[in-house]
Copies of this chain bind each other. A is one copy, B any other.
Amino acid sequence: MITDPAYEVAPWSLYESELNLELLPQSESVFALSNGHIGWRGNLDEGEPNGLPGSYLNGLHELHPLPYAEGGYGYPESGQTVINVTNGKLIRLLVDDEPFDLRYGTIRSHTRELDMRAGVLRRECVWVSPAGRAVRVRSTRMVSFRQRAVAAIAYEVEPLDEQVRVVVQSELAANEEIPRATGDPRVAAALESPLASEEHFAGGTRLGLIHSTTRSELRMAAAADHRVDGPRATTQISSESGDDLARLTVTAVLEKGERLRLEKFVAYGWSATRSLPALRDQADAALVGARDTGWQGLLDQQQSYLDDFWDRADVEVDGDTEIQQAVRFALFHVLQTAARAEQRAIPAKGLTGSGYDGHTFWDAETFVLPVLTFTEPKAAAEVLRWRQHTLPTARERAAQLGLRGATFPWRTITGDEASSYWPAGTAAFHVNADIADAAVRYVAITGDHDFEKETGLELLVETARLWRSLGHHDHAGAFHIDGVTGPDEYSAICDDNVYTNLMAQANLVSAADAAERHPRHAAALGVTNEETATWRDAAAAMTVPFDDELGVHEQSAGFTRHERWDFDGTDPEHYPLLLHYPYFDLYRKQVVKQADLVLAMYLRGDAFTAEQKARGFAYYEPLTVRDSSLSAYCQSVIAAEVGHLQLAYDYLGESAMMDLKDLENNARDGLHIAALAGTWTALVAGLGGMRLFDQDPIRFAPRLPDALSRIAFRLMFRGRRLRVEVTRSTATYTLADGAPIEILHYEDAFTLTADQPVVRELPSFAHQEAPKQPPSRAPRRRKAPPAG
């Protein structure tokens, strides 16, 4: 956790006013740039010191055997790990033969700024070498949103006092040494030297390296070109290349007032199928495009891309400048993660680090896609199309497990299951309903019926088939889904997990509905009326365990009868519990790692009464230890719904500060993209009270905690731009464009017409005593920082 403020609070940027080498691993994640295809961690230009060198291409991975001391039928044999690809951001500097290395000499000033409107990372450093030479180094780095294969850097050095001789080495470097992963199972296994050289090139200002991976047999190309601007008389350029290194060297003698400026354009490509010449040409072509656009052109494109994004997606927060900054930081990184992923997965860490081996999980669909669907819908569609493309693998997996339809993997890069611990992998079948839910939500929000026909329907049908074969009717006709693991990973292999059953229920009904809407497409998938009838029947008969005595839902059958975890006897240092207690003990007791029933109350809020929600939240809150970054935001949403606004605000703060304050001490491995997305959700669905169930009208039930005076958010909804502004007393709904649309403000339905804002009063709330969390696990009570 970062205790002192690391970054200054500013509405549109993340500004670091001095360099803390201790925090480099975390700040590399926070300052990472990505467009969803290329990811560059915020490593210093000169490469060292570093926490974790990281350059990633979405989907480019290596395979490795998964070892089992005792194997079992259906255990995945091959693991997948994202690899650190050729580093194109490396620019080393020598000042009078002394390496520019911040561990030596004197740093007079060092600032970094992630500019979320310009879409660049800026750095400025004044450094005095051990020999006493003072230089100013400035760099601006970007990964282009518009030119998917391109990243670029502008790099400048100037002497501050006297003449210096500088050498700048701009590199493409493969197989960098990276630190070994720790023993923590959640940290990605590091793979050593994963890239085998196939070709290298250096000529003029151009560099190129082509490599392939050994087991996964993927090929990648990295190419760079440069524009060099320095004193004509003294500036010299040379270049060279080897298997794992291509290097442009620029030397110059700079007088005070003179600068050496380097513009570096980098292009990447990778493929499982394309030949070496084809891939080389692809990278070279991208490079020519970038160079033609030029540095300023790339900056302009980036700015216009982001202007457009913020215009439809911005969230404003008055009264808490940290949250204001954090929610934009969150949206910016969610966008970076997905913008140009284009039929690739969204990894849990985006492309900001190698945590979780670069795998995608259910949180992409459940936590990240809702935000994208309201703000960058085409990126959400692409993720679901990627899932659709992996259906052949998912069907094979279902068949292997003796099930019908498709079984999507718990964790994967390629679509193949890569989870080696089945009680928290294969058994977590809810991922299938989560994907279906994302598809249904996408259609509900965008109204994109072509997508439903071409993609959504197939996802829904195959997952409905899975549920139908996974569950069964008992002798009284009730439908049960036994032996599965819900979102709470401190319970596993349970019968009738409420979250799973309710999500499966929606999945079954949505599949039947979609098949009715698209009968020809459904028929092509082999769907018959008899089949959809069995889906509806199973959905109608779905078991939802409820403890009548306590008047609360059982997270899973029998849960409320289990022994309570001994929270009072648990050392606060023993969190997260999974590192200090065996699974067997966690699984059999009442202790919740992350919102499970509470998440069901959000995503399937239509299946609970208001009283059930209040009682459920009150029951599960004292059991929930939040050992997962996936929890705080949904606790925030339901806390707001049941009337605990300060608690909702506290959880919002936790979700928002997850990475900026490194609350889980693992931001070094990459950002928690789902928690970032959750920050938006806590504001929009929590304080904004937004809900949307399938074809119902969109509903808002806004309410603000005492600390906030105003929030405003923008949404894309069925092709329209919608803006909601909430003050302490009113909500103002504005439709920027498009046909009129029905809106619910609490239970008050009205039709919103373009450019005719509607203002509604907020109802008053009775203050409710909030439930307590387990000792030492309460969220930090949030107070808004003084306005800056």
Digitize A469-500: 1 where CB-to-B-CB distance is under 8 Å, 0 elsewhere: 00010100000101110000000110100000
Contact A73-B183, Cβ < 8 Å, known A67-B67, A401-B585, A493-B587: no
Which residues in chain A, 560-587, are within 8 Å of chain B measured between CB atoms?
A: 561-563, 578-585, 587
**Contact B562–A482 (Cβ < 8 Å):** yes
Least CB distance from A70 to B in Å reads 4
Of A10-18, A417-425, A594-602, the one with at least 4 CB within 8 A of chain B: A417-425
- A71 contacts B588, C-beta separation under 8 Å: no
Is A132 close to B, CB under 8 A?
no
Majority SS at the chain A contact face: loop
Please tell me if the beta carbons of B482 and A581 are within 8 angstroms of each other in the complex: no
Are A185 and B563 in touch, CB under 8 angstroms?
no
Residues of B within 8 A of A67 (CB): 67-69
Known contacts: A480-B561, A492-B493, A561-B474. The answer to whether A185 contacts B72 by CB under 8 A is yes
* Residues of chain B within 8 A of A402, CB atoms compared: 581-582, 585
* A50-71 Cβ-contact flags toward B at 8 Å (1 or 0): 0000000000000000111111
Q: Is the CB of B421 within 8 A of A584?
A: no
B557 and A558 contact, CB distance less than 8 A: yes
Contact partner of A422 (CB less than 8 A), chosen from B480, B482, B583, is: B583
Taking A483-B584, A581-B402 as contacts, is the C-beta distance between A185 and B420 under 8 angstroms?
Answer: no
Across the two chains, which residue of chain B brings its CB closest to A580?
Answer: B73
A74 within 8 A of B: yes
A562→B72 CA distance, assembly (Å)? 23
Contact (Cβ within 8 A) A427 B584: yes
A588 touches B495 (CB 8 A): yes
Closest to A478 in B: B561
A426 contacts the other chain (Cβ, under 8 Å)?
A: yes
Contact of A401 among B68, B483, B582 (CB under 8 A): B582
- Taken residue by residue from 445 to 479, chain A's Cβ proximity to chain B (1 for < 8 Å, 0 otherwise) reads as 00000000000000000000000000010100000
Chain B residues in 8 Å Cβ range of A350: none
4 extra A-B contacts, CB within 8 A, seeds A482-B589, A484-B584, A495-B588:
A66-B69, A70-B420, A71-B183, A402-B582
- B69 A582 Cβ-Cβ under 8 A: no
The answer for the CA separation of A340 and B562 in the assembled complex, in Å, is 46
Q: How far is the CA of A561 from the CA of B74 in the complex (A)?
A: 26
Q: A480-B561, A561-B480 are in contact. Are A185 and B71 (CB under 8 A)?
A: yes
A79 at the interface (CB under 8 A from B): yes
Residues of chain B contacted by A581 (CB below 8 angstroms): 73-74, 402
Smallest distance from the beta carbon of A622 to chain B beta carbons, Å?
Answer: 16
A68–B419 Cα gap in the complex (Å)? 12
B587 touches A483 (CB 8 A): yes
- Roughly how many angstroms separate A378 CA and B74 CA in the complex, as a whole number? 45
Residues of the B chain whose Cβ atoms lie less than 8 Å from the Cβ of A419: 70
Given contacts A588-B493, A588-B495, is CB(A582)–CB(B480) below 8 Å?
no
Nearest Cβ in chain B — how far from A490, in angstroms?
11
Interface size class of A (residues with CB under 8 A): 35 or more
Ranked nearest first, the 5 interchain pairs of A and B with the lowest CB-CB distance are: A483-B588, A69-B420, A67-B67, A472-B563, A74-B582
List the B residue with the shortest CB-CB distance to A421. B70
Contacts of A557 in B (CB 8 A): 558
- Residues on B with C-beta less than 8 A from A493 are 423, 492-493, 584, 587-588
From A73, A474, A480, residue with most partner B Cβ within 10 Å: A73
Chain B residues near A563: list those with CB within 8 A: 472, 480, 482
Give the one of A183, A427, A583 with max B CB within 10 A.
A583
**Could you give 20 example pairs across A and B, Cβ below 8 Å?**
A66-B69, A67-B68, A67-B69, A68-B185, A70-B185, A70-B419, A72-B185, A72-B421, A72-B583, A73-B578, A73-B579, A401-B582, A402-B582, A422-B583, A426-B584, A483-B585, A483-B589, A493-B584, A493-B587, A558-B558
Complex CA–CA separation, A588 to B403 (angstroms): 14
A82 to B299, CA, bound (A): 68
Closest to A492 in B: B493
Inter-chain CA distance A737–B69, complex, in Å, is 53
What are the residues of chain B within 8 A of A583 when measuring CB–CB? 72-73, 422
CA distance A400 to B584 in the complex (A): 12
Contacts of A427 in B (CB 8 A): 584
| A73 surroundings in chain B (CB, below 8 A) | 578-583
Report the nearest B residue to A429, measured CB to CB. Answer: B584
Q: A70-B185, A185-B72, A578-B73 are in contact. Are A401 and B584 (CB under 8 A)?
A: yes
Within the complex, what minimum Cβ distance (angstroms) separates A418 from chain B?
9
Which of A67, A400, A419, A578 counts the most B-chain CB atoms under 10 A from its CB? A67
- Most chain B beta carbons < 10 A, residue from A71, A72, A420, A557: A72
**Nearest CB on B from A396, distance (A):** 14
**CB under 8 Å from chain B, chain A span 407-423:** 419-423
Interchain CA distance A708-B422 in the complex, whole Å: 49
Partner of A558, one of B68, B185, B472, B495: B495
Residue of B nearest to A563 (CB): B472
State how many angstroms separate the Cβ of A87 from the closest Cβ of chain B: 28
Kindly report which residue of chain B lies nearest to residue A587, judged by CB atoms. B483
For the complex, what is the distance from the CA of A616 to the CA of B23, rounded to whole Å?
A: 64
- Cα(A70)–Cα(B578), bound, Å: 12
Establish whether residues B72 and A69, one from each chain, have CB atoms under 8 Å apart when the complex forms: no
Chain B residues within 8 Å of A472, by CB = 563
Give the residue name and chain of the B residue nearest to A76 (CB). B69
CA distance A67 to B68 in the complex (A): 6
- Contact mask for chain A residues 68-112; partner B; CB cutoff 8 A; 1 contact, 0 none: 111111100001000000000000000000000000000000000
Tell me the A173-214 residues at the B interface (CB within 8 Å): 183, 185
| Contact, CB under 8 Å: A426 / B582 | yes
Report Cα–Cα, A471/B185, bound state, in Å: 29
When chains A and B are docked, how far (Å) is the Cα of A584 from the Cα of B400? 12
CA distance A183 to B70 in the complex (A): 10
A69, A562, A588: residue with the most chain B Cβ atoms closer than 10 Å: A69
Residues of B within 8 A of A423 (CB): 423, 493, 584
Residues of B within 8 A of A474 (CB): 561
A422 proximity list for chain B (CB < 8 A): 582-584
A492 contact set on B, CB distance < 8 A: 493
